[in-house]
Amino acid sequence: MQNIEEIEELIKLISKLPGLGPRSAKRIVLKLINNREELIKPMAKTLADVYKNIFRCKNCGSLKSNSNGCNNCESSNKKFNKICVVENIADQWSIEASGVYQGYFHILGGTISSSNNQKKEELLIDALVERVKKEKIEEVILATSATIEGQTTAFYIQDSLRDTKVKISKLAQGLPVGGEIESLDDGTLISAFKNRQNFLDSKD
């Protein structure tokens, strides 16, 4: 393989994407190069547009655009009394795709963890508390993963919401230990939501 700097750099970048390694990245790069007009040109424009116009909403953590705002928390067409708290946007998309939940989402952007130096202050927990107070939320559903970090984060959120008196529930038991929400099939998600229980009761 020719040692072309631009190609090598592109392979390195693509190999950083989830589920891809150097070999898969090389195949993708070759596909792109062989389809310059059909793939590279429109992809370059779209990536530039995304970089320029798409940001994480500071209020709810979802994605928002400069032109349309945040569809999750700023749309006047949506009026719900529930917020589902998830760790990342991939979790939100998985739950939306299952069709089991109708309500607001709140995306933390991670979990409380000592291993990756994620600090409580870096998560949008304070913003969650403010949303519960301002939007007259009646129930907060904790949909964090069944990992130590996910459960630690859930306990911290419960403590942070203590003064709001809002109902706090969590997805039903049965989620695989160590499992992440985005990897669950629709059937498991639907069952977990329909059989969710009060957070305090679930700690017993």
The CATH number linked to 101 is: 3.40.1360.10
Residue 177 and residue 102 share a domain: yes
Alpha carbon 184 to chain centroid, angstroms: 14
Instruction: Measure Cα distances from 87 to 29, 114, 153 in Å.
Output: 31, 16, 9
Residue 187 and residue 96 share a domain: yes
* Per-residue pLDDT tens digits of the chain, which is 204 residues long: 567 899 999 999 999 998 899 999 999 999 999 999 999 999 999 999 999 999 999 999 999 988 888 888 876 577 889 999 999 999 999 899 888 899 999 999 988 876 655 567 778 999 999 999 998 899 999 998 888 888 889 999 999 999 998 999 988 765 555 556 776 777 878 787 887 888 765 554
Compute the Cα dihedral for 95, 101, 104, 110 and give only its sign: negative
Residue 87 and residue 47 share a domain: no
User: Domain for residue 183, yes or no?
Assistant: yes
Total tally of structural domains belonging to the chain: 2
Instruction: Measure Cα distances from 114 to 39, 137, 150, 153, 179 in Å.
Output: 41, 31, 12, 12, 19
Q: Specify the CATH number for the domain of residue 17.
A: 1.10.8.420
Compute the Cα dihedral for 84, 89, 95, 96 and give only its sign: positive
Instruction: Give me the domain span that covers residue 104.
Output: 82-202
